[in-house]
Amino acid sequence: MNGDIVDLRAFYASLLGRLAERSIAMALSSIWIKLPEERLVGLGYAVPWLDRFGADAERVFAFMPARQGAVHWPPGKASATALVFEEELPLPDSSVDRILLVHAFEHTENPRQTLLELWRVLAPGGRLVIVVPNRRGLWARFEHTPFGTGRPYSRSQLVEALREANFTPGAWADTLHFPPARRRWIMKLHQWLERAGRRFWPLFAGVLVVEAEKRLQQGIPAMARRSRRVLVPVLTPQGATGFGAGRAFRNARRENGV
């Protein structure tokens, strides 16, 4: 499945997509801290969760990448959707409080530049929530879901990318522990498989969720310096010290007949 808006809407309209949406919403709820009068932006295809978590926000925008395409959202109201490039968001500096990335980070051409742009538009102490396919998970290996496209990530890769862009990783969650099967009898067991997966095989979750905070200052590690200079006391005779110096002095006197 491609990361196209038509395919994404079709997937989340299916039974498997609705189950995935519900599981991801539960994972987001475990790390989502309410911010009063927050300005929330969803990047990628985040509209199913913006409906859930944006009800109390001051304003909500749905930014959709140009390669993906865009749809009107929210339905029945004035459109809050914009077609954007991830590396050039149409927002001023420090203008939003939280950004939710779903079906976005794994498709970016330059992940570091995208994170730096997100850092720019986030307010001091702003929060970034990323939902990406897990490199170890089963969902990243099947292309009939949108989680089987793009570049999956491991926890260590996400931590490294966030720290390089001046973000501090915080709370983690994982979800989609049930297989991406289309058979109804397997989907009926998704709740049991999800609970069992969180307990017994969390490393193989289909999706990783991480919340990171914008860091204003970054420390530069100091490098230990080793001096190459050899300090010698000025009153120490050069080339001869101690007992060896006295013996050399006596031998010199004998040779000179003194």
Residue 108 maps to a domain: yes
Residues spanned by the domain of 28? 5-214
Residue 236 maps to a domain: no
Residue 90 maps to a domain: yes
Residue 151's Cβ-count burial label (10 Å; 0-12, 13-18, 19+) is middle
Residue 239 maps to a domain: no
Residue 145 maps to a domain: yes
Pairing of strands 39-44, 59-65: parallel
Give the contacts of 173 (CB within 8 A, at least 6 positions apart). Answer: 27, 28, 30, 31, 208, 209, 210
pLDDT (tens, 9 = 90+) of the chain, 258 residues, equals 557 899 999 999 999 999 999 999 999 999 999 888 899 999 999 999 998 999 889 999 999 999 899 999 998 899 999 999 999 999 999 999 999 999 999 999 999 999 999 999 999 999 999 999 999 999 999 999 999 999 999 999 999 999 999 999 999 999 999 989 878 877 788 788 888 888 888 889 999 999 999 998 654 444 444 544 444 554 445 454 444 555 554 665 565 555
Q: How many structural domains are present in the chain?
A: 1
Residue 101 maps to a domain: yes
Edge-to-edge order in the sheet of strand 59-65: 81-84, 59-65, 39-44, 96-102, 122-133, 207-214, 167-175
Task: List the CATH number of the domain containing 109.
Answer: 3.40.50.150
